[in-house]
Amino acid sequence: MRKLIAFAILCFSILVSAQTDQNRTSGFKRNDGFLPFYWDAKKGMLFFELSPQRINEDFIYFTGLSSGVGSTLMFADRSSVGRSQLCRFVRAGPKVLVIAENTDYRAEHGNPELKHSVERSFPTSVLAALPIESEQSANIVVNANPLVVRDATGVLDQLRRPSRAVGGMIRQAEGSGANWHLDDQRSAVDMDHTRGFPLNTEVENILTFTSDTAPGINAPERGVLTVHEHISFLALPPGGYKPRVADPRVGFFGERFQDFSRSYSEL
């Protein structure tokens, strides 16, 4: 009798868990776009819906500052851009890893074996691990907060080790910066500036940095500095796209990388 009761409880628990997974986004508005998303206002959680097409598909991850620190002592101005990266979602058991590819080392014109060798010879970076909240048909729903509520543009590095342009050269300020930290409790997704479009999904966050020893940096509260960072998820151009040759008259420095498919005489 006890075994029968235990089996019934187990079956009930599995049924409740399955219903919870299926209903994880029920009642939330689905925002269509390159990465469809849902918003749980009660828990402050943003969910991405990933189709089988989006898993293992490359996309562009682009970041920038929507508001600045307003200081000439560091590079943290409004509209400052972070590093753009080529990324992909990879499922790993109960979570989805966001992997930034290493595009600094390539074999552009090499055979598949050479390309594989170069890819394995240099590290990638996992930007975040997104817990899977539910599975709906072939799509999976993940908690996107670990990816979008983070210091993607490197403000924390500037606060701790400020640098500036001196005589056309980038130099680190004398002395070390204060011991700043990102306060997760005072950081969140800014839904007023989060939107979805067919070829891109735009997410903005509100990040608060705190320090017990920092001097005032144009903030109303000493040791408390809050900025907005913007993150863009962009689809790659369609097949047949031809990149434009870099022109020194245009404000773009070009992309440099080491091509292992070229001979030494071409380097």
Query: In the prediction, which pLDDT does 11 show?
Result: 47
Query: Per mean pLDDT, which range of 140-154, 186-200, 247-261 is the poorest?
Result: 247-261
Nearest in space to 133 (alpha carbons), one of 231, 28, 224, 220: 28
Query: In the prediction, which pLDDT does 8 show?
Result: 46
Residue 37 pLDDT > 70: yes
Query: In the prediction, which pLDDT does 177 show?
Result: 63
Range 53-81 average pLDDT: 87
What is the rounded distance in angstroms from the CA atom of residue 74 to the CA atom of residue 176?
Answer: 12
Q: Where are the domains of the chain?
A: 25-237
146 Cβ partners below 8 Å, 6+ apart? Answer: 128, 129, 130, 131
Q: Are residues 229 and 207 in contact, defined by beta-carbon separation less than 8 angstroms?
A: yes
Query: In the prediction, which pLDDT does 23 show?
Result: 64
Query: In the prediction, which pLDDT does 10 show?
Result: 47
Query: In the prediction, which pLDDT does 74 show?
Result: 78
Which of 257 and 123 is assigned the larger pLDDT?
Answer: 123
Q: How many CB atoms lie within 10 A of CB 77?
A: 13
Q: For the chain, what percent of residues have pLDDT higher than 70?
A: 83
The bridge status of strand 37-40 relative to strand 59-65 is: unpaired
17 Cβ partners below 8 Å, 6+ apart? Answer: none
Query: In the prediction, which pLDDT does 53 show?
Result: 95
241 Cβ partners below 8 Å, 6+ apart? Answer: none
Helix (H, G, I), strand (E, B) or coil at 157: helix
Extract the runs of DSSP E, i.e. beta strands, from the chain: 37-40, 45-50, 59-65, 85-92, 95-100, 105-106, 125-136, 139-143, 163-166, 169-172, 181-182, 188-189, 195-197, 200-210, 224-234, 258-259
Which of 249 and 198 is assigned the larger pLDDT?
Answer: 198
Burial of 56 (0-12, 13-18, 19+ CB in 10 A): exposed
What is the rounded distance in angstroms from the CA atom of residue 83 to the CA atom of residue 229?
Answer: 13
Range 70-96 average pLDDT: 87
Range 25-45 average pLDDT: 93
Residue 216 pLDDT > 70: no
Residue 175 pLDDT > 90: no
